[in-house]
Structure formats: C-alpha cells, structure tokens
C-alpha cells in the first residue's frame, strides 16, 4: 500500500519534469534574436526551429503512446527526460545552423512524452480526484513560460544563450535519474474503484482488441476534433500577443510584461480551478467534467471578443480583461484528459491521449501561421487585431460545438467502462483465489 506522501512525491517529480521541460522548450523564443545574430539567419529559418520540433513531436506521439501502453511507463519517462537533456545540450554546442536545427528538431522526440505521465498518474489516483491532479500538472505550461522568461532575463547577458541551454539540458539529465530511481511503476487500472485495494490484479496490455475499443467510444471523436480547434487560441496568445500589444496597441515593454505576466498567472490558476470544479461536478453528474470544459470554452470566446475590442487608449481595462480571458484558456484541459481516462481501458490510455495530442499538435503548428497569413494578406485586408479575433473566436465556437456533442455522449461510455472494470475485478479476484 503506497502512502499518500509517496504519491505526492511522484506528483512533485512529474511537476518538476514538466515545468523544467516547458521552460526549456520556450526559452528559444526568448533568445531567438541572439540565435539569429550568431547564425546569421532570416525570419523563415528562425521559424523553422520551432516548426521542426512540432513536426517531430507530432510524429512521435503515436509511438510514445504505444510504448507507454506496452512497457513500463516510469522507465520510459526517465528515458524521455534523458533525451530532453541530451538533445538540448547538443543544441547548446552546435557550431552551425544546420546542426542546431537538427538538435532543436530532435527535442520534439521527448515533447510527445506527456501521455505516459498522465497514464501513470491515473494508476496512483482514482477518478474522483484526477481532475485536480491533472490541473496541478497543467499549471506547468504557463509557469514554464514565466520560468523561461526569468532565466533569460537573469542569465542571458551574463552567461549567454548556449550556457542557458546547457543548464536546462543538465537539469533534464538530473530529473531522468530521479524518475529512474524514485518513481515506481504501477499495475494498470490499480486506482480504479473496482480494483483499488486488490492484492493481485490481472495483467492487461495493449493489443488489437483493446485498441478496437477506442473506436467504440463515441465521446472520443468530438473530443479529438475539439482538441484541434481548442489549441488555436492558446498558441495565438503565446506566439502573437507580445507583437500585437506592441504594434497594434502601442504599449511599452513594461506594460506588456505586466499584462502578460498577470495573464500567465491567471491561466495557471484556471488550469487548477477547472480541474477542481470538474472533479466536484463529476461527483454529481457524469457530464460534470465536460460541462465545466464547455463553460470554459464559451467564457473564453466571449471574453476574447470583449477584450480585443477594448479601445487602445483604455490600457487599464485591457489589463484587467486579458487576465480574466486567460483564466478560461486552460479550464478544459484537465477535464478533457480526465474524461479520456474515464472512458478508456487502462492499457490504451496513453495511446488514446497520444492521439488527442497528435491532433492538437497539428492545430498548434497551424494557428500562428494562419493568423500571420490573414494579417498580411492583401485580399483578406484584416490586420493583426482582426486576424487574431477571427481565428480565436471562430475556433472557440467550433470547439464549443464539438464539446457540446461530447457532453451529450459521455454518460454511455462511462457506464461501459465501469462494467468492464467490474468484470476485471471479478477476474482479479478469481486469480487471487487460485494462487
């Protein structure tokens, strides 16, 4: 029987892994000017540094998902952390643009490792509290952005961008050792209510029959589709909003940093709050988590429209409304992950979430370019403000539509999984009696 203290130690290890990894991923955006000057590259070549990692990450999502469902997740996560450290450090010493591009693209290999974290955590904590735990872990995305900014502000002038990457890469290797020696593998399904407390659990690993069950979960299709559209606004905010506030609104660096800092902090709070409320409402209705997700999407859409239409001269109002908008951006994240795990068999959970993230990565790679094309296109004649508004509001509307479909479908899939878990509990009980 694992102690609560050890379970939270595991959460702390994965929080550190995801926080430092997110910071490492985002640092390149903060030091891009230094990199362009050193390698003498143009905007397109600089943009490829980000696109390469996204493409590699998308390719590796299905592979990581399968491996996590087939083999021990703890050791594979240690490997992912080691790959993060090694590829980042290789980029830090790369002598040419081509070798640096190869190193940065290869960092995408470990970018697709998160389904293993969520899957393993699902076997430490039961369905009733997963939303809160996943909310804590999703806080690492906005906090990682803040950490990357702090690292660059404090260290860039004194040690340079290469040594910053050596530092973060070295931390990746340290975290790999902590995961390898400190995190225990858990039997798949161990924390399900029907199997919790059983001394022996029948082993189930991914196979064709288990994979076939994914296509029978009707809730997954609208969840996957909404995931594609749902990441557009988030990536538009992280990629374009600094430029938008500088060029379209005419704000100075101090004002931009203050407003974006507040938005990042409320975004982090929203991830936890969304998961907390989702857990609370899930205890009262099977649609609870997705109702919270739907509400978050609609609120984010409405607030985005209101915020971007605030007059440029009203800096205070914009500075208040943007953090409120950001509060809802990650509201659905922990609830979507929890729902995927609420309706899928334990041995295909990494694969099911990897498919979700694969689809989201395609949207993530598309959104900044789409806004740029709409803003620059003479035919569209929109400008950056209207391009951001059009992309964010329209994709939020589509996301809400498909999320509503998932809200309607989810109760049946929840019942089916609980029936399968009861069957496995009986199987495990018979196995214990025969040994």
Burial label, 256 (beta-carbon count in 10 A; 0-12, 13-18, 19+): middle
**For residue 199, is it within any domain?**
no
Burial label, 21 (beta-carbon count in 10 A; 0-12, 13-18, 19+): buried
Phi, psi at 357, each rounded to 5°: -70, -35
**For residue 197, is it within any domain?**
no
Do 3 and 100 share a domain, yes or no?
A: yes
**For residue 244, is it within any domain?**
yes
350-376 per-position pLDDT tens digit: 999 999 989 888 877 777 777 877 877
222-279 per-position pLDDT tens digit: 999 999 998 888 888 877 787 788 888 999 888 988 998 899 899 999 999 999 999 9
Q: How many CA atoms lie within 13 A of 384 on its CB side?
A: 15
pLDDT over 70 percentage in the chain: 97
Average of pLDDT values for 391-403? 95
Domain of residue 112, residue span: 1-186
140 pLDDT above the threshold of 80:
yes
**For residue 384, is it within any domain?**
yes
Answer whether 337's CB lies under 8 Å from 350's CB: no
What tokens appear for 395 in the block? 């994709």
Q: Predicted confidence band at 34 (pLDDT cuts at 50, 70, 90)?
A: confident
Check residue 269 and give its pLDDT: 94
Tell me how crowded residue 282 is: count the other CB atoms within 10 A of its CB.
Answer: 24
378 pLDDT above the threshold of 60:
no
Do 23 and 160 share a domain, yes or no?
A: yes
Check residue 46 and give its pLDDT: 76
Among 250, 372, 256, 243, CA closest to 322: 256
Do 316 and 398 share a domain, yes or no?
A: yes
428 pLDDT above the threshold of 90:
no
Check residue 350 and give its pLDDT: 92
Q: Which residues of 385-424 are buried (b: 16+ CB within 10 A; e: fewer)?
A: bebbbbbbbebbebbbebbbbbbebbeebbeebbebbeeb
Answer whether 371's CB lies under 8 Å from 384's CB: yes
Please give the model's pTM, rounded to 2 decimal places: 0.86
170 pLDDT above the threshold of 70:
yes
Among 200, 184, 126, CA closest to 424: 200
Q: Predicted confidence band at 197 (pLDDT cuts at 50, 70, 90)?
A: confident
Check residue 51 and give its pLDDT: 74
Do 181 and 223 share a domain, yes or no?
A: no
Do 211 and 146 share a domain, yes or no?
A: no
**Number of compact structural domains in the chain:** 2
Among 30, 264, 365, 53, CA closest to 165: 30
218 pLDDT above the threshold of 90:
yes
What tokens appear for 352 in the block? 């099911």
Do 345 and 381 share a domain, yes or no?
A: yes
- Kindly write down the DSSP assignment for every residue of 267-288, as one continuous string: HHHHHHHHHHHHHHHHTT-TTH
**For residue 196, is it within any domain?**
no
Q: Predicted confidence band at 308 (pLDDT cuts at 50, 70, 90)?
A: very high
Q: Cα torsion for 55, 216, 66, 271, to the nearest 10°?
A: 60
Do 241 and 335 share a domain, yes or no?
A: yes
**For residue 340, is it within any domain?**
yes
35 pLDDT above the threshold of 80:
yes
**For residue 25, is it within any domain?**
yes
Residues with Cβ within 8 Å of residue 303, at least 6 apart in sequence: 321, 324, 325, 328
The Cα 341–Cα 117 span in angstroms is: 12
> Which of 151, 186, 221 lies at the terminal end of a domain, its last residue?
186
> Which of 186, 221, 242 lies at the terminal end of a domain, its last residue?
186
**For residue 288, is it within any domain?**
yes
Q: Predicted confidence band at 134 (pLDDT cuts at 50, 70, 90)?
A: very high
Query: Which of the listed ranges 34-38, 196-200, 239-243, 291-295 does the model predict with the highest average pLDDT?
Result: 291-295
> Which of 154, 186, 218 lies at the terminal end of a domain, its last residue?
186
Check residue 427 and give its pLDDT: 84
Do 218 and 140 share a domain, yes or no?
A: no
Q: Predicted confidence band at 83 (pLDDT cuts at 50, 70, 90)?
A: very high
pLDDT over 90 percentage in the chain: 60
Do 129 and 218 share a domain, yes or no?
A: no
CATH number, residue 164: 1.20.1250.20
Average of pLDDT values for 136-161? 90
What tokens appear for 74 in the block? 């703890």
Check residue 396 and give its pLDDT: 95
Which of 5-9, 282-286, 375-379, 409-413 is predicted with the least confidence, judged by mean pLDDT?
A: 375-379
Do 167 and 281 share a domain, yes or no?
A: no
Which of 15-29, 267-281, 314-328, 377-391 is predicted with the least confidence, judged by mean pLDDT?
A: 377-391
Among 112, 90, 110, CA closest to 101: 90
Do 157 and 263 share a domain, yes or no?
A: no
Do 246 and 378 share a domain, yes or no?
A: yes
């Amino acid at each position: 029987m694992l102690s609560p203290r050890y379970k939270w130690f595991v959460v702390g290890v994965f929080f550190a892994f995801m926080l430092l990894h997110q910071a490492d991923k985002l640092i390149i955006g903060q030091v891009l000017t230094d990199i362009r000057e050193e390698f003498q590259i143009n905007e397109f070549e600089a943009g490829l540094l980000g696109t390469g990692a996204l493409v590699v990450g998308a390719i590796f999502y299905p592979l990581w998902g399968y491996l996590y469902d087939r083999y021990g997740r703890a050791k594979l996560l240690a490997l992912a952390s080691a790959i993060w450290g090694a590829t980042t450090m290789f980029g830090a010493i790369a002598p040419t643009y081509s070798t640096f591009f190869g190193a940065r693209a290869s960092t995408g290999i470990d970018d697709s490792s998160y389904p293993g974290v969520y899957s393993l955590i699902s076997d430490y904590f039961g369905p009733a509290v997963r939303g809160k735990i996943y909310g804590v872990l999703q806080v690492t995305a906005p906090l990682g952005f803040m950490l990357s900014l702090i690292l660059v502000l404090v260290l860039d002038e004194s040690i340079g961008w290469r040594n910053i990457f050596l530092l973060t890469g070295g931390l990746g290797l340290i975290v790999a050792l902590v995961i390898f020696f400190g995190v225990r593998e858990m039997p798949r399904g161990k924390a399900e209510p029907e199997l919790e407390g059983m001394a022996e659990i029948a082993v189930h690993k991914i196979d064709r029959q288990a994979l076939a069950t994914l296509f029978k979960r009707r809730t997954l299709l609208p969840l996957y589709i909404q995931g594609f559209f749902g990441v557009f606004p988030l990536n538009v905010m992280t990629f374009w909003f600094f430029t938008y506030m500088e060029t379209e609104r005419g704000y100075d660096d101090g004002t931009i940093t203050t407003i974006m800092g507040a938005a990042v902090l409320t975004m982090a709070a929203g991830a936890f709050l969304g998961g907390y409320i989702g857990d609370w409402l899930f205890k009262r209705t099977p649609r609870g988590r997705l109702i919270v997700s739907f509400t978050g999407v609609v609120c984010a859409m409405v607030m985005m429209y209101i915020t971007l239409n605030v007059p440029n001269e009203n800096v205070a109002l914009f500075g208040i409304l943007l953090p409120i908008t950001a509060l809802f951006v990650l509201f659905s994240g922990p609830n979507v992950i929890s729902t995927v795990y609420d309706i899928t068999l334990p041995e295909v959970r990494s694969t099911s979430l990897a498919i979700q993230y694969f689809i989201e990565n395609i949207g993530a790679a598309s959104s900044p370019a789409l806004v740029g094309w709409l803003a620059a296109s003479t035919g569209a004649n929109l400008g950056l403000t209207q391009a951001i508004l059009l992309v964010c509001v329209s994709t939020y509307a589509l996301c809400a539509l498909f999320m509503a479909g998932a809200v309607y479908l989810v109760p049946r899939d929840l019942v089916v999984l609980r029936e399968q878990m009861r069957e496995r509990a009986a199987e495990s009980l018979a196995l214990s009696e025969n040994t």
